[in-house]
Every structure is written in C-alpha cells, then in structure tokens.
Chain A
Amino acid sequence: MTADWGFPSDLDDVSGEVAIAGVGEADHTKASGRTTKQIGAQAIERALADAGLTPRDVDGIMHTPFDGQQFGADDYRAHFGTTHEMWTSTAGGGMVWAGSAPHEAALAIRAGKARTIVNVFSVAWATQRADMVGGPGEVHAAELFKQNLEVPFGWFPQPVYFATIARRHMHEYGTTPAQLGAIAVACRRHANRTPAAVLRDKPLTLEQYLASPTICDPFRKEDCCLISDGGGAYVMTSVERARDLRRPVIEVAGVGVGNSRTRTYWAQQGDFTATPQVFAAPGAFRMAGLSPADVDVLACYDPFTIVSLMQIEDMGFCKKGEGGPFVEGTTLHFDGGRLPYNTHGGMLSHAYVLGIAHVVEVVRQLRGEAAAQVKDAEIGVYGGYTGPQASTLVLRRR
C-alpha cells in the first residue's frame, strides 16, 4: 500500500535537550462532581510536589484549547496565589499533544521563553455525561460534515467508527476477536495491580471477554475505553537543570508527529486500517537514534483495542497485519512479555484521561517506581493519537 494518505510533520531535532522532571495524576474516578479545572489543579500540585518545585518555579504552561475548560495560566496564578508571567501554549494537553508537547517545550526553553514548563490535561466527562454534554461524541457530532454525512446514518459515535475499522482489519489480515481480547485482558491485568486505576478491582479473563455480547460488532464493551473524571500533568525543564532536581533524569530522546490528509474523516482515509503513526514513529526513532527493538515499555492512546493493535503495527513493533498474532498470549504483559504495554491499564482499564496518564506511567516505569514495574526499563515510548494526527514520544533514563 502506498503511504500517500498522510505525511510527517517537520520537527527540529530536540533530542537530549529537555527532561520530564515531575509527574502527577489527579484522582481517577467515575462521575465525581468535580470540575475540569479542579482536577487539573490537583494534577499540577502533585507534579510539582513530585519534582520538588514551588509554584513560582514554573514559568510556562501548556494545555489543549479543545473544550475551553482546561487549566490555564490565569487559573494557575489564581490557584497558587502568584502574579508571575507565564509563557503559555495551547499545543499541549492529552491525546496527540501529550506526546508532542515536549517538542514545543524544548523550542520554548531553547529560545529562552521559559525555563520550567508544565503540561496539563484533565476531563470531567464522567460527571458531564449525566447532562448529555461534553465527552468524545459531542466533539464529533458538532463537526458539520460528520453531522450531515455520517451521524444521520448512525455511523456514530467513535465505537461504531472503530468497530468498522476492526472488521476491515479482520478481513485484510485475519485478525480475530480473541486477539483483540488479548489486549483488553493484558490492560485489565495491569489495572488490577495499579491502585489508581478505575477498574483495579475488576478482573477480566479472555473467556469472559469472548462470552460477553457485542455492542457494535465486532466490538464488545471491553474493547472500548472508560469514560472518566481525571487528569495528569508533567513538568519539563532542560536536562541540565533536571540534574539538579530531586528525581531521576528522564530525557526526551525523540519526538515525531504524523498527519492524515483526510483529517478526522476516517471513512475516507486512504489506508482505512492504519494510523498516522506510520508517519510519526520513524522520525521519533531517528531523532532518538533508537529502533522499536530497543523499547522496554510502550504506552499508546487506546480508545479501542483495535487502535492499540494498529499503532503497535504502525510504529514498527511488528509487521503490518501481524499485530493480531503478535499480541496473543502474554506479549503485552509487564512481567516478562516481549512488549510490556499500557502497564497502568490504559484508557480501557485505568482511566480515560486521554493519554496524559500514559506519559506519567512511562516516566514512572523508567524511574523504576511503577505499580506493575517492568524490570530494568530504560527506554519507554508513548504513542499519541487523535485520528487526524499521531505522535511518538521516546523517553530515556539518563
């Protein structure tokens, strides 16, 4: 298949310039009555405490513009009682930006715009769901081509799109429900060891998965992510400065971003069963001077099992189309699997906080302090995804 349906973003080489010096997660819950900003504030407080920094030490903040409720510079100053200037960027947050924010931050730090930057993302979609507002479906229903050419036919919301993609993947490559189930089971097993995971107390076997009914076939409920209240934050600074802080230095070794020419219109994407990781991952590994074989732990934005499977293929951890057999059995398990994957449980079983907790988890793995710790993890990767774009973030313990 010719890969002309997308393209990589042209990024500066920032390898080795910045480190993630602190990470924090808010409480991840079902509907909690909290607001998006309250959750963001808690995540930042915890990231600062982790880094050993005071609120005044942070002079840059990154978040996403997409729901208008994110914790920004004014919220930061009001919450922490400061009046200081802050560099701000809306090229941060979760999803694809949880992986690409370190590139933007490195450029800002290089240019002297900021020294220490926090990237934050939070959602209160579980709380908001009761009012039928917010959440992933609304964003898509509001898009007018989708509203007028997709939604009227019931090809909506995201579970239906990705079930359709999964069926096509099964046709093209022979992928089976049990192989999708292996991903759900591995993620749940990791969540069962992770105290902060929403589904920490709910086990899942492959037999239970296969015995459950489909909601939009070939998907079962367990192929689909949670809807949660929660969030996370991470603090970035120069590698040089990170050496003087209290935590181990987790360096940003490589960043890549890939784009789909058909944007968020999956129905028209040239390769229907691929993600823009095809265009993101090679640049990130090149920047890092590493290859997929070097990776000790992987965390991908995983709204659905098939999105995990496609990214694992598209990032080069196995050949395209061989993801099904690759993920069978214990491949993705933290304790001895060939590719420990979403070791906190991912969005299927940890929390649907859109990837920010994935980056937090990878950092913890590389520090050796994760709940489901991969032995001697030194190189970790986050795969970010939004549909129109994907990002690859390669992190390395120094």
Chain B
Amino acid sequence: MTSFRREFPLPDTEWPPTREFWSAAKRGELALPRCDACRRWRWYPDATCRFCGSASSTWTAVSGRGRLFSWSVVRRAFIPQLAADVPYVAGLVAIEEDPAVRIVTRIVDCEPAVLRIDLPVRVVFRPLRFAGVRGEVTAPMFVPE
C-alpha cells in the first residue's frame, strides 16, 4: 500500500525533477528542460536524455503556444478530491517548439463544443485547488487562441 502526501493531488513543488516547472509557472512562464548536448526538449525531465544520453540540461522558457493534441471531458470524479471539478477538460497540448512534446494540462475558459484536434491554444496560469485539500499551486493551463 502506498501512502500519499496529505496535499495529494496537488503537485509536490519541491520535488527536484519538476521543481523548476512549478516555480516557472508561479512567475508566469512555461519552462521545460532542454538537453545541452543535442538541444532536444527533455520531457518528461529524466536524469539523462533519451535521445543522446547526456546528463546536462537547462530549464528554458517556451512560447506557451501549441495545438490541442487530444482531450477528454471528464464527467465522473474518479477520486474524491476532483468532486468539485467535474465536468472538466483534461488533455494534451503539443508545444509549438516541438510537437512531439506534449504537456498534460487542462483546457479552460471555453465550451467543450469548440474543441477540436489541432486547435491553436495558448498558456494561461491558474490556481489548482482541490476539495478537502489545503493550499493551492499555480499551474499552466490552456485556452483557445
């Protein structure tokens, strides 16, 4: 049995591999690690590059523009912490800099009926809050352009 942090499902903004992602979001940037050797985006941020094996990378801000890769309108709260959120749109955004990199996110501020694959979207920063969980974390979400 696994024991989860009391703040679950809020992210652990101090967990080293993704700490920079969350601190960038807090100052209003979408940043991802880029391999110093082959210059590819390293997403998710593994310790070494899965293309060239280099261990060296630098967190780098991206434009925040991309295209909607796919999504689901989630109507059932699969965990109780999401009870106040349903229905919500969870999905993947392929970033402009490299469409093979997909950010898991929420699509907000629009009716699901307007969504289509490859819809141009841009990043916004919104608080994540969950029912029965203390605290909040600023997170990158996306809206139609």
Report which of B50, B106, B117 forms a contact with A153, defined as CB distance below 8 A.
B106
Alpha-carbon gap, A133 to B137, bound state (A) = 26
CB pair A216–B74 under 8 Å, yes or no, is yes
A164: chain B residues within 8 A (beta carbon): 70-72, 90-92
Across the interface, name the chain B residue whose C-beta is closest to A172.
B117
Pick the residue among B9, B11, B92 that contacts A267 (CB under 8 A): B92
A264 to B: closest C-beta gap in Å: 11
**Which residue on A lies nearest to B5, using beta carbons?**
A147
Please tell me if B139 contacts chain A, counting CB pairs below 8 Å.
Answer: yes
Distance, CA A154 to CA B128, complexed state (A): 10
Least distance between A363 CB and chain B CB atoms (Å): 33
- What is the CB-to-nearest-CB distance from B20 to chain A, in angstroms, rounded to a whole number? 12
Contacts of A153 in B (CB 8 A): 90, 104-106, 128, 139, 141
Smallest CB gap from A169: residue in B: B70
Give the residues in chain B near A159, CB-CB below 8 Å. 78
Check A167 against B104 for contact (C-beta < 8 Å).
no
B39 at interface by CB-CB < 8 Å: no
**Chain B, Cβ-Cβ closest to A165:** B70
> Are B43 and A216 within 8 A (Cβ)?
no
Please indicate the chain B residues that have their CB under 8 angstroms from the CB of A262 in the complex. 50
Q: How far is the CA of A216 from the CA of B2 in the complex (A)?
A: 26
Q: In the complex, how many angstroms separate the beta carbon of B75 from the nearest chain A beta carbon? A: 6
The answer on a CB contact under 8 Å between A148 and B104 is no
Given contact pairs A138-B2, A160-B90, A265-B44, A152 touches B139 in the complex (Cβ within 8 A): yes
Which residues from chain B sit less than 8 Å from chain A, CB to CB? 1-2, 4, 8-12, 15, 17-18, 21, 43-44, 50, 69-76, 78-79, 82, 85, 88, 90-92, 100-102, 104-106, 117, 128, 137, 139, 141
Contact A272 B9 (CB under 8 A): no
A74 at the interface (CB under 8 A from B): no
Which of A141, A149, A157, A165 interacts with B21 by CB under 8 Å? Answer: A149
A249 to chain B, nearest CB (A): 42
1/0 per residue A114-155: CB within 8 Å of B? 000000000000000000011001100110110111111111
A171 interfacial contact with B, CB 8 Å: yes
Which residues of chain B come closer than 8 Å to A214, judged between CB atoms? 73, 75
CB-nearest residue of chain B to A270: B100
CB atoms of B21 and A155 under 8 A apart: no
Q: How far is the CA of A133 from the CA of B79 in the complex (A)?
A: 12
A79 part of interface (Cβ distance < 8 Å): no
Q: How far is the CB of A148 from chain B (nearest CB, A)?
A: 4
Contact of B104 among A150, A218, A272 (CB under 8 A): A150
Cα A48 to Cα B104 with chains together (Å): 47
Starting from the known contacts A154-B88, A215-B75, 11 additional A-B residue pairs (CB-CB under 8 Å) come to: A145-B17, A147-B9, A154-B9, A154-B85, A154-B90, A160-B78, A171-B70, A217-B72, A217-B75, A218-B72, A268-B44
What residue of chain A has the Cβ atom nearest to residue B139's Cβ?
A: A152
Inter-subunit contact B8/A261 (CB<8 Å): no
Please determine whether B44 and A155 come into contact, CB atoms closer than 8 angstroms: no
Residue among B9, B18, B104 having the largest count of chain A Cβ atoms under 10 Å? B104
A163 touches B (CB below 8 Å):
yes
Chain B residues with CB under 8 Å of A171's CB are 70, 117
Tell me whether A141 and B44 are in contact in the complex, defined as CB-CB below 8 angstroms, given that A152-B137, A216-B76 are known contacts.
Answer: no
Residue of A nearest to B44 (CB): A145
Question: Do the beta carbons of A152 and B15 come within 8 Å of each other?
Answer: no
- Binary B-proximity of A212-252 (CB < 8 A = 1, otherwise 0): 01111111000000000000000000000000000000000
Q: Which residues of A contact B71 (CB under 8 A)?
A: 164, 167
Check A167–B90 contact: CB distance below 8 A: no
Q: Of all chain A residues, which has the CB nearest B86?
A: A154
Residues in chain B near residue A216, CB distance under 8 A: 72-76
